[in-house]
A and B are shown apart, each in its own frame.
Chain A
Amino acid sequence: MRLKLVPEETNWDFFKYARFTLGASVVAVILSLVAWLAIGLNFGIDFQGGTTVRTEASAPVDVAAYRDAMEPLGLGDVVISEVFDPSFAADQHVAMVRIAAQEGQEGLSAENLSAVQDALNAVAPGIKFTSVESVGPKVSGELIQTAVIAVAASLAAILFYIWLRFEWQFSVGAVAALFHDVVLTIGIFSVLQIQFDLATIAAILTIIGYSINDTVVIFDRLRENLIKYKKRDLREVMNISVNETLSRTVMTSGTTLVALLALLILGGDVIRGFVFAIFWGVIVGTYSSVFVAKNVVLFLGVKRDWSKPDKTEGNQFANIDA
């Protein structure tokens, strides 16, 4: 008995609810942009500068006490949050202390750092500082720039490659789908206020990579079917293509999501944000390959005659009687 995630033969009409699915995508994109602008991203120190100290103590974390201890140091904005993870031992209590960038300093000075450590040690004796990271405002500014360049360069490179291998309509469709994935990921990070740092950018690029992979497989089949079914309606050929590749789409997303789920639950809290972004992106990316990319291509139309080159090309006056 074989496991079949998708029935052997499917003949679903993926355009039946096109108005609804595309509408939902547009609404989701708009909501994400609104969330991004209204709530804003919870930037990590990579992009904002500042210092994070990870503490580990055997006594439970008392956030209020930690805050009171740090208050007299006058370090400005201090955020303390407790970290939970299934992989922690019973007497392992972890917290993240985040200190805003100090005026006129690139990093947290040694005196400030030891003052923080002494203060916390007074509240929670035997506390350990398992990681201390400090990023200056100068670097964080550059990191933002690099991140934006990375995402833009990825989209441009894909636009170009798909245009090279397919037609320009396909590359616009693919990039529209990718844009959709990126914006939705930023949206969920705004809504859930998950820390947005350099790793998140890496995750977004991975999402772009995964989503384009999915889209290209469908496009590849579409190209093949467009030659095979010359007489059929574009919409119909698209449906055939998606149905034919559906079981692969679901299977690959399935294995990837299963692997990621293991990492999300068991991989520890340090990379949870990163893994969550990819996990979310795989779901959104699979959806967009099926429901967004090809709709854009349908909207733009495709040259149907692939077999022979257009004879009048470059000879626009050929039809004119002299």
Chain B
Amino acid sequence: MLQIPLWKRLFIWALVAVGLALALPNLFYARVEQANDARAAIETLGATPERNAAAENWPSWLPSGLVNLGLDLRGGAHLLAEVQVADVYEQRMDGFWPDLRDALRDARDEVGPIRRADQGGPELKVRLSDAAALPRAMEVARSLARPVASLSGAGATDIEVAGEETADGAMLTVRLSEAERAATDDRTVRQSLEIIRRRIDEVGTREPTIQRQGQDRILIQVPGIGSAEELKSLIGTTAQLTFHPVAGRTTDAAASAGPGEVIYPSIDEPDTFYVLERTPVVSGENLVDSQPSFDQNGRPAVTFRFNPTGARAFGDYTAENIGSPFAIVLDEEVISAPVIQDHIPGGSGIITGNFTIEESTELAVLLRAGALPAELTFLEERTVGPELGQDSIDAGRIACLVAFVAVLALMWASYGLFGLFANIALLINVGLIFGLLSMIGATLTLPGIAGIVLTIGMAVDANVLVFERIREEMKTAKGPSRAISLGYERALSAIVDANITTFIIAGILFMLGSGPVRGFAVTLGIGIITSVFTAIFVTRLIIVTWFDRARPKKIEV
């Protein structure tokens, strides 16, 4: 009855070995981190002797996953931003006004004189001097509506038109429809997210977290940055989008630019540089919109639209330079350099190239990503200095060690040899926790360290339950082998029930918590899994192996 088949034994030890191997890199944290950084740098920026040397610090065949340190341990800044999505409604209505005005003027005979009556805001109000003309004006306005491009709003149009008669005529009100607002909000937040990600990636800090939260919020966590203020100003900087005439193309980064020229690298073609005229034809402030689209041959393309000033400059330039390339430059990198096919009047155009659909979507986002589409309000700001984080790590490490030693001593004193077995399992348990945390790329926070300490205390529980049960079974004197086997069998239901309830709590904490609390939930949950595994399988295997060898007549638990 104390038989464990060989394959099972091997399987258990293999799992333990894998878990411990995954935990191993954390013992050499700084070294592995440097090696990982160097490998990432080689991947994106190319190899240099220093990078290669740093990468070789940690053999590539070993696991290299690390437990991420949370902001409270590493230091850095945390921001919770709310995107003021309503800002965009106003821009949309302002953009809609010229179209509406022209349409109403075309129908002047029936509508009569009109005047814009709002002072900005999410609603466009137009005063009509003739109340009788209201139905016709509403009809004209409705004819400008476009279908909403979203799944949920199928069949809906982008604007709502209302009208009411007033003392001196009538008032026509146009606002965005519910469906269009939802679609716009979503687009605004995604656009903001994309811009923020670009801004932060440029600085190249390690492991930033940029997440959408709920409808209109964005969570930004950047380790290693000095303060939340610094992060805010970084996000707030507008991207510089410009359109330049192209003077030439080179593969030599060190080529010298002529007077009034600059050399910018290409964003996606390696080793390609463009020589451009320094003064842009049009810059990003003049860009109003950009959307992914398809050209007449059905290939993915990107459309763009300028405001009147930009449109005039762009129209003049394209008329004079048909057949020559112009470069679209974002923050001193050339996104693409298409050839001008035709005179482009009216300020809108289409960029074709060898795009995939994903690329065209991304380019449209980048083009729009000149500036944040709406203002951000910061609801939560946290800065933790690196010194405080280091103090916390040091304190946590000492506390962990002391807790560990104390629990080991207590177990040994209480259960003797069996206590030692449990202690081996406990050591394995902590290793496995770190292994799993590294594997899933979890973030360790200060409460997370507390979670590990708590797990050290509670992990022995399953073993205690079993040992106490074995003691009891021995009183009814069935021989040691039977007592051990019954002890495991009968303690199982208590172990399972007790741990499932705790696991439910960890799950709730994970779902509802954020940041440090979530880190705590993760270590608590993983701790439960590993402690049940080590108690039921590892300790038992150790005991059985010992029992097979020693064959004691009597055991003392």
Contact = CB atoms under 8 A, between A and B. Distances in A.
Interface string B446-476: 1101100110111011001100100010000
A138 interface: yes
Contacts of B392: 268, 270-271
Contacts of A40: none
Contacts of B454: 206, 256, 259-260, 278
Report, as a range, how many residues of chain B touch the other chain: 35 or more
Interface stretch (B112-120, B395-403, B545-553): B395-403
B381 A132 contact: yes
Nearest to A4: B414
Contact of A132 (B379, B383, B411, B516): B383
A270 B388 contact: yes
A242 B444 CA distance: 38
Given A209-B502, A278-B450, A217 B465 contact: yes
Contacts of B348: none
B399 A262 contact: yes
Nearest to A199: B447
Nearest to A113: B229
A210 B424 CA distance: 24
A181 to B, nearest CB: 13
Q: Looking at chain A's contact residues, is the secondary structure mostly helix, strand, loop, or mixed?
A: helix
Contacts of A278: 450, 454
Contacts of B377: 106
Contacts of B402: 262, 266
Contacts of A259: 403-404, 406-407, 453-454, 456-457
B391 A87 contact: yes
Interface stretch (B47-55, B314-322, B491-499): B491-499
Given A107-B379, A213-B498, A150 B450 contact: no
B502 A210 contact: yes
Contacts of A67: none
A38 B504 CA distance: 34
B516 A199 contact: yes
A199 B72 CA distance: 13
Contact of A5 (B414, B460, B512): B414
B488 interface: no
B508 A154 contact: yes
Interface in B376-396: 377-385, 387-388, 391-392, 394-396
B227 interface: yes
B161 interface: no
Contact of A267 (B399, B457, B502): B399
A35 interface: no
Contacts, number: 231
Interface string B9-53: 000000000000000000000000000000000000000000000
Contact of B383 (A131, A260, A270, A271): A131
A244 interface: yes
Nearest to A150: B512
Contacts of B411: 255
Contacts of A108: 381
Contacts of B132: none
Contacts of A133: 381-383
A54 B472 contact: no
B502 A130 contact: no
Contacts of B501: 158, 161-162, 209, 212-213, 216
Contact of B391 (A113, A135, A216, A268): A268
B149 interface: no
B450 A248 contact: no
Given A210-B458, A259-B407, A154 B227 contact: no
Contacts of B141: none
A216 B497 contact: yes
Contacts of B72: 270
A166 B196 CA distance: 52
A208 B524 CA distance: 13
Contacts of B446: 270-271
Tell which of B380, B384, B521 has the most Cβ of chain A within 10 Å: B380
A251 B414 contact: yes
A218 to B, nearest CB: 9
A234 to B, nearest CB: 20
B379 A2 contact: no
B505 A205 contact: yes
B524 A2 contact: no
Contacts of A136: 378-380
A275 interface: yes
A150 B518 CA distance: 13
Contact of B403 (A146, A219, A258): A258
Name the residue in A129, A154, A259, A260 with the highest tally of chain B Cβ atoms < 10 Å from its Cβ. A259
Contact of A107 (B381, B449, B493): B381
A3 B414 contact: yes
Given A2-B413, A274-B450, A205 B380 contact: no
Interface in B338-388: 377-385, 387-388
B80 interface: yes
Interface in A155-171: 157-158, 161-162, 165
A3 B494 CA distance: 24
A2 B416 contact: yes
Contacts of B381: 107-108, 132-134
A138 B413 CA distance: 53
A274 B447 contact: yes
Given A150-B509, A247-B468, A257 B447 contact: no
A190 B374 CA distance: 43
B447 A150 contact: no
Max count, chain A CB within 10 A of own CB: residue among B378, B403, B410: B403
B517 interface: yes
B379 A106 contact: yes
Given A4-B414, A5-B414, A149 B464 contact: no
Contacts of B395: 87, 266-268
Interface in A206-232: 206, 208-210, 212-214, 216-217, 219-221, 224
18 contacts: A56-B387, A113-B229, A150-B513, A154-B505, A161-B504, A209-B506, A212-B501, A220-B497, A252-B458, A255-B458, A255-B464, A258-B410, A261-B403, A261-B406, A266-B399, A268-B392, A270-B446, A274-B447
* Nearest 5 interchain pairs by C-beta: A256-B457, A268-B395, A259-B457, A209-B505, A3-B413
Interface of A: 2-5, 54, 56, 87, 106-108, 110, 113, 128-136, 138-139, 146, 149-150, 153-154, 157-158, 161-162, 165, 198-199, 201-202, 205-206, 208-210, 212-214, 216-217, 219-221, 224, 244-245, 247-248, 251-252, 254-263, 265-268, 270-271, 274-275, 278
Interface of B: 72, 80, 82, 227-229, 232, 377-385, 387-388, 391-392, 394-396, 398-400, 402-404, 406-407, 410-411, 413-416, 446-447, 449-450, 453-454, 456-458, 460-461, 464-465, 468, 472, 490, 493-494, 497-502, 504-506, 508-509, 512-513, 516-517, 520-521, 524
Given A251-B414, A255-B460, 4 more contacts: A3-B414, A130-B385, A259-B403, A259-B406
